[in-house]
Amino acid sequence: MRFKLIGLLTILSISSVLAQPDPRLKKLEQEMHRVLQQTMAPGFAVAIVEKDKIIYSEGFGYSDYENKIPVDANTLFAIGSTSKAFTSALLGQLRDDNKLSFNDSPIKYIPELKFYNDELNNNVIIEDLMCHRTGLSRHDLSWYLFPTFDKDSLIRRVQYLEPFSGIRQKWHYNNFMFLVQGVITERITGKSWEANITDLILKPLSMDRSNTSITELEQSDNAALGYKLRPDSTIHRMDYYHIAAMSPAGSINSSVNEMGNWLITWINKGKFKGEQIIPEAYINEAITSHMTIGGLPSKQLPELHFTDYGYGWFVSSYKGHYKVDHGGNIDGFSAKVTFFPTDSLGIVVLTNQDRSALPSLVTNILADRLLQEQPTDWLANYNKTLAEALKKMEKETDTIAEDEPTDTPPSHPAEAFAGKYGHPGYGDISVTAKNDSLFANFRLKKFYLKNQHYNVFETCEVTETGIDTTDNNPLRLNFRINDDGELSSIFIRIERALDHPLEFKRLTE
């Protein structure tokens, strides 16, 4: 009897120890709700990985804000550019199978691919695509405002996309180069990028509900809707954005529980449940610096410094810890995927708020807890930075308003501006006139053209509820006149890395 009692007490003692909550996560929910409240996000989910296990996963707020449907750890979100590490990992698998070299020219696999000049055509290698060092500007509005589901069509635009620096001189983010990586995998395997991602990564990692398109997301149960926070502090529903042919750069949809499996794989040198899914040699190479970005320490945060880029990952120092991470943003959604290789810790945060600071805030708060470092008041820093940014924005708006000329109407009647204008690296803009008002029609979006002065117009998006005038940084269309006095082109500062606007020439009907 005495031995039975001792055995029972031993079992109870062990059970008690196992049931003890992780002290690093004490009162975590309270802090997470505070972040949700401060950022005014509809909802978010977070998962924490340690070694080969998910030690915490939870949802906060709502996946459907109007109907108050709660987020949980299995809610699907668009993960945006955190998809990039998946695309480059496919190349790592193909290299391990001796099907390519990172020193190969991408033109070897895509013969019709042409760059803006011979320097790029003759010197760009696959590794340059993987770490954003081709010197190409982003040119994101080429695919965002002029989308297509034809990857080959987007590939043909590359030759018209102007670089802003020489090859390997400066780091500059470029989604087109991840499209090229995805097409390389298609040409080698004979399968679509979407099928390769599903068969070679998602299925082996038991990411069974994750998918690669908005169409699949719309057909899924427990999928979040996207929202944005307007300047008047109202939460506004956004339509899903079909990233279409640019899918290799950011079209994956997933949950924090399934993204936890992705982090487990990276923390464990490419292994998941004992199987080598991603080659270990590639894992080590991908999280090593291949291009310097910058990142001098600030007076406020001297412990945060240096930022470089690997293959689809940023690498940096966080309070003395080696950090690997990547963010993601697409209409209505923001994401952050982070891991600390030498600490065997990982964090994924997904939210249904557009261009949200929440993923970084939550990641940093959790990193301080998990790494047991002196905590920084990240919310206070956020509120201070936000207040300073709003003040600066108001000052700049007032300055622009004072400097802009007034009483300078357009040179021609509205009907004279109507017509099609095109750029080979972007696409066609159809300008239409209705009741003396002008509209610029892009493939998926329509803008009301508000006259600023003379032939310069600001753009205000036309939505189902009317004209949205809340955009603080609209495109400006500057119509130019030829020697015959006819409106012949539109100049638009559509790529900010370049020091000049791009010309959309008027097309013959």
Q: Strand 314-318 vs strand 502-506: parallel, antiparallel, or unpaired?
A: unpaired
Angle in degrees, CA 186, 286, 323, rounded to 5: 135
Q: How many angstroms from the chain centroid is the CA of residue 486?
A: 41
The Cα 271–Cα 275 span in angstroms is: 5
Structure tokens at 200: 């070679």
The Cα 265–Cα 253 span in angstroms is: 18
Q: Count of CB atoms within 10 A of residue 199's CB?
A: 12
Measuring CA to CA, which residue among 388, 370, 368 is closest to residue 378? 368
Angle, in degrees to the nearest 10, between helices 176-189 and 84-96: 40
Q: Given this model, what pLDDT does residue 473 score?
A: 61
The Cα 377–Cα 31 span in angstroms is: 11
Q: Count of CB atoms within 10 A of residue 79's CB?
A: 30
The Cα 201–Cα 204 span in angstroms is: 6
Measuring CA to CA, which residue among 110, 103, 105, 131 is closest to residue 120? 105
Q: Given this model, what pLDDT does residue 474 score?
A: 75
Measuring CA to CA, which residue among 492, 494, 487, 491 is closest to residue 419? 487
The Cα 52–Cα 269 span in angstroms is: 11
DSSP track, 109-152: T-TT---SSHHHHHH--HHHHHTT-S-B---HHHHHTS--S-HH
Name the pTM for this structure: 0.92
Per-residue pLDDT of the chain (509 residues; tens, 9 = 90+): 444 544 544 444 443 334 458 999 999 999 999 999 999 999 999 999 999 999 999 999 999 999 999 999 999 999 999 999 999 999 999 999 999 999 999 999 999 999 999 999 999 999 999 999 999 999 999 999 999 999 999 999 999 999 999 999 999 999 999 999 999 999 999 999 999 999 999 999 999 999 999 999 999 999 999 999 998 899 999 999 999 999 999 999 999 999 999 999 999 999 999 999 999 999 999 999 999 998 777 777 777 788 999 999 999 999 999 999 999 999 999 999 999 999 999 999 999 999 999 999 999 999 999 999 999 999 999 999 888 887 776 766 555 555 555 668 999 999 999 999 999 999 999 999 999 999 999 988 999 999 999 999 999 999 877 888 776 567 999 999 999 999 999 999 999 999 999 999 999 86
The Cα 377–Cα 307 span in angstroms is: 22
Q: Are 136 and 92 in contact (CB under 8 A)?
A: no
The Cα 424–Cα 441 span in angstroms is: 17
Q: Are 126 and 133 in contact (CB under 8 A)?
A: no
Q: Count of CB atoms within 10 A of residue 281's CB?
A: 13
**Which CA distances in Å does 86 have to 48, 131, 204, 394, 462?**
19, 14, 13, 40, 35
Residue with token string 């923390």: 267
> Does the CA dihedral 200-201-206-211 come out positive or negative?
negative
Long-range contacts of 316-320 (CB under 8 A, 24+ apart): 318/367, 318/371, 319/367, 319/368, 319/371, 319/373, 319/374, 320/373
Quick check: helix, strand or coil at residue 342? helix
Q: Given this model, what pLDDT does residue 298 score?
A: 77
The Cα 77–Cα 332 span in angstroms is: 10
Measuring CA to CA, which residue among 179, 113, 166, 96 is closest to residue 136? 166
98: which DSSP letter? T
200 Cβ partners below 8 Å, 6+ apart? 90, 93
Q: Are 352 and 227 in contact (CB under 8 A)?
A: yes
